[in-house]
Chains A and B, each alone.
Chain A
Amino acid sequence: MNGHPTRPEDFDLYALGVLEGEEKAAFEAHVPTCAACAEKLAEARGRIALLAFAAPRVEPSPAVKDRLMRQIHSAPAGFSRAVAGAQRERAPREPERAEGFFGRWWAAAVLVPVAAVLILVSVRLWQQNARLIDELGEERATLQKQQAQLDEARHIVALMEAKDTRTVALASQPGMAKGDVRVMYNAKMGMAMCDGWVDPAPANMSYQLWLVPMEGKPISAGLVEYSNGPMKPWMVKLPPGVEAKAFAITLEPEGGMPQPTGPMVLVGPVS
């Protein structure tokens, strides 16, 4: 998948966590690069998050909140305040005796530098740990992205080398938007690569690519990003083994439809 996910509910399936393998990797490679898809994914995550309400209600024990509030006191940002608070608590319980006074001076002379060093070391370690976690996450994301790009490059090479791959040119229909799109298609592999250009779609509308099979209803091959200039080629996954008699691009409500409802803008028969 180099373009947008092919069906609107793909975002919910990803948010639900059921996608796997190439399907998941391709999704993860595309979404970070596309603001519109990232927005749709955020909405899907929100819908799926609502399933949390289906869980039987279980209130946490009050001890959890107590532990949490103690934990934030011991976190680096609140450390100095915690020390100050502890000192305030201890003060009234200690009698004001002369030797105790000097004793506290000696104790302070030793403990304050030790505490300062401990604070510095703790903060340093905490920062280092946070940085390492961030770096690990970035490396993992980069690796996944590169793996997805490599997989896609392999698919493109396989598609171009296959003897039974066909190229279909889609031409503008009279009175419709101008465009010129080519589809390189292999029925056995269930894969197509598309490129070309098409005039911008009207507001709140999307262009959708369809495989028109020899028999049966058209199969959605995803949305088409319009462009006044040449578009970056994009890969499309289709059900393997379906022979096409034509490819077509129709104008549909934004986000696409399960079956074509709008006018055909570009059409190309498979010769």
Chain B
Amino acid sequence: MSTSDAALIQKIVQRDESALAALYDRYAGLLSSVLNRILRDTQASEEILQDVFFQLWRNAAQFDSGRGSLPGWLVVIARNRAISRLRRHNPSEGEELLETSVIVPSNLESAVVQQQLLGRVKGALENLSADQRAAIELAYFEGLTHSEIASRTGDPLGTVKTRIRTAVESLKRTLSP
């Protein structure tokens, strides 16, 4: 049986490099995928990927496994940094997320669960209308706000807000345990 994330974090706190390598092997693929989708730039994606795990190495003691999920936290940090770079925001904004708590409704430590989730998330997105799916992807992968999505698509702001709210409700129903 593989070592839990919480146990690996404890080992990282004790400066065990093999624990960081194990967590890297477990989650680097997921992070690399979302970073490449956002940035569409392999070099920039790999810089952020390395930086996120280096941040984990430096700040592992501050991560409280009882407060949330490590892969959720890693994804939030990685996405935030990628969006910051994409939009040329101050990269230090990501540092605030050290305090961020992320509760994922599934245990992502298992590769099997990750595979199952892959199917569920794709299914949940396929259940949305094309407009809803496009709006969610503009928000998540390009970091656009309501009004920016309205400008991009040419749709009225109210329509965009309703579209995203309905999509989010649908995703919540499908992805909740």
Show the binding face of A for B, using Cβ within 8 Å: 7, 9, 12-13, 16-20, 38-39, 41-43, 45-61, 63-65, 67-69, 71-72, 75, 77-78, 133-134, 136-137, 140-141
Tell whether, in the assembled complex, residue A53 and residue B49 are in contact, meaning their CB atoms are under 8 Å apart: no
Bound state CA distance, A56 and B121, in angstroms? 12
Tell whether, in the assembled complex, residue B49 and residue A60 are in contact, meaning their CB atoms are under 8 Å apart: yes
Q: Which of A18, A52, A134, A137 contacts B139 (CB 8 A)?
A: A18
Contact with A along B146-167 (1 / 0, CB 8 A): 1101000000000000001100
Bound state CA distance, A71 and B57, in angstroms? 10
Tell whether, in the assembled complex, residue A52 and residue B28 are in contact, meaning their CB atoms are under 8 Å apart: no
Tell whether, in the assembled complex, residue A61 and residue B76 are in contact, meaning their CB atoms are under 8 Å apart: no
- A65-B24, A72-B57 given; name 19 further pairs at CB < 8 Å: A9-B168, A9-B172, A16-B164, A17-B140, A18-B144, A18-B146, A38-B101, A42-B103, A43-B105, A45-B102, A47-B172, A47-B175, A48-B140, A49-B72, A49-B76, A51-B125, A64-B46, A68-B20, A77-B58
Does B79 sit within 8 A of A, measured CB to CB?
yes
Known: A42-B102, A52-B30, A56-B33. A141 touches B96 (CB 8 A): yes
Tell whether, in the assembled complex, residue A18 and residue B145 are in contact, meaning their CB atoms are under 8 Å apart: yes
Known: A55-B34, A72-B20. A46 touches B29 (CB 8 A): no
Known: A18-B146, A52-B33. A42 touches B101 (CB 8 A): yes
Tell whether, in the assembled complex, residue A53 and residue B169 are in contact, meaning their CB atoms are under 8 Å apart: no
Tell whether, in the assembled complex, residue A55 and residue B92 are in contact, meaning their CB atoms are under 8 Å apart: no
Chain B residues with Cβ below 8 Å from A140 are 96
Bound state CA distance, A48 and B100, in angstroms? 14
Tell whether, in the assembled complex, residue A53 and residue B24 are in contact, meaning their CB atoms are under 8 Å apart: no
Does B122 sit within 8 A of A, measured CB to CB?
yes
Main secondary structure of the interface of B (DSSP, over half): helix
Known: A50-B175, A51-B140, A64-B49. A9 touches B121 (CB 8 A): no
Show the binding face of B for A, using Cβ within 8 Å: 15, 17, 20-21, 24-25, 28-34, 36-37, 42, 45-46, 49-50, 53-54, 57-58, 67-69, 71-72, 75-76, 79, 83, 92, 95-96, 100-106, 114, 117-118, 121-122, 125, 136-137, 139-141, 143-147, 149, 164-165, 168-169, 171-172, 175-176
Bound state CA distance, A42 and B69, in angstroms? 10
B165 CB, nearest partner CB in chain A, Å = 6
Bound state CA distance, A38 and B102, in angstroms? 10
Known: A42-B101, A53-B30, A72-B20. A9 touches B149 (CB 8 A): no
Tell whether, in the assembled complex, residue B32 and residue A137 are in contact, meaning their CB atoms are under 8 Å apart: no
Bound state CA distance, A50 and B171, in angstroms? 10
Chain B residues with Cβ below 8 Å from A55 are 33-34, 36-37, 141
B85 CB, nearest partner CB in chain A, Å = 15
Q: Which residue of B lies closest to A7 (CB)?
A: B165
Tell whether, in the assembled complex, residue B21 and residue A16 are in contact, meaning their CB atoms are under 8 Å apart: no
Closest CB pairs A-B (n = 7): A55-B37, A46-B104, A52-B34, A42-B101, A53-B121, A60-B32, A55-B33
Chain B residues with Cβ below 8 Å from A46 are 68-69, 72, 102-105
Known: A64-B49, A68-B50. A58 touches B33 (CB 8 A): yes
Bound state CA distance, A158 and B150, in angstroms? 30
Tell whether, in the assembled complex, residue A47 and residue B20 are in contact, meaning their CB atoms are under 8 Å apart: no
Known: A16-B164, A136-B92. A60 touches B143 (CB 8 A): no
Chain B residues with Cβ below 8 Å from A63 are 46
Chain B residues with Cβ below 8 Å from A71 are 50, 54
Chain B residues with Cβ below 8 Å from A43 are 103, 105
Chain B residues with Cβ below 8 Å from A69 are 17, 20-21
Tell whether, in the assembled complex, residue A67 and residue B103 are in contact, meaning their CB atoms are under 8 Å apart: no
Chain B residues with Cβ below 8 Å from A7 are 165
Chain B residues with Cβ below 8 Å from A39 are 103
Q: Which residue of A lies closest to B164 (CB)?
A: A18
Tell whether, in the assembled complex, residue B72 and residue A12 are in contact, meaning their CB atoms are under 8 Å apart: no
Q: Which of A41, A56, A60 contacts B28 (CB 8 A)?
A: A60
Tell whether, in the assembled complex, residue B68 and residue A58 are in contact, meaning their CB atoms are under 8 Å apart: no
Q: Which of B24, B32, B36, B168 contacts A12 (CB 8 A)?
A: B168
Known: A42-B103, A47-B105, A56-B33. A20 touches B95 (CB 8 A): no
